[in-house]
Amino acid sequence: AQSVAQPEDQVNVAEGNPLTVKCTYSVSGNPYLFWYVQYPNRGLQFLLKYITGDNLVKGSYGFEAEFNKSQTSFHLKKPSALVSDSALYFCAVSSGNTPLVFGKGTRLSVIA
């Protein structure tokens, strides 16, 4: 069975500083990895995905994530955080024809 772990419930970072939101996964076969962001009382917005190719993928709003196969990780990063980045972030994984499985989410708080 596939699973996703987001070890941090909350990440706090000062505006302008780099941010990292961690994600590790477990899956049989090749993983399809995704990051989504959720603002209050809204659905999820797609940020980026890794399917194959370069381990570093770039996505929306300046976010990027690095796929690390040996560590089974897919951490989300941004060089310089904005207050408007404050939201709930979900990592998700699927493989082959399996439905997407989400992590429990990490709340990012960027402080001015």
Partner 1 sequence: GAVVSQHPSWVICKSGTSVKIECRSLDFQATTMFWYRQFPKQSLMLMATSNEGSKATYEQGVEKDKFLINHASLTLSTLTVTSAHPEDSSFYICSARAGQGAYNSPLHFGNGTRLTVT
Contact footprint for partner 1 (CB under 8 A): 32, 34, 36, 41-46, 49, 51, 90, 94-105
Q: Which is nearer to partner 1, 16 or 96 (CB)?
A: 96
Q: Which is nearer to partner 1, 46 or 61 (CB)?
A: 46
Query: Residue 15 is encoded by which pair of tokens?
Result: 């505006």
Instruction: Yes or no: say if 7 and 21 are a contact pair by the CB < 8 Å rule.
Output: no
- Look at residues 74, 63, 89, 76 and name the one whose alpha carbon lies nearest to residue 30: 74
Q: Which is nearer to partner 1, 13 or 103 (CB)?
A: 103
Considering the complex, what minimum distance in angstroms separates the CB of residue 14 from partner 1? 24
Considering the complex, what minimum distance in angstroms separates the CB of residue 22 from partner 1? 15
Considering the complex, what minimum distance in angstroms separates the CB of residue 16 from partner 1? 28
Q: Which is nearer to partner 1, 22 or 49 (CB)?
A: 49
Determine the distance from the C-alpha atom of residue 95 to the mean position of all C-alpha atoms in its chain, rounded to a whole number: 17
Determine the distance from the C-alpha atom of residue 91 to the mean position of all C-alpha atoms in its chain, rounded to a whole number: 4
Amino acid at 79: P
Considering the complex, what minimum distance in angstroms separates the CB of residue 109 from partner 1? 14
* Residue 70, CA distances (Å) to 13, 24, 31, 66 in order: 28, 11, 13, 12
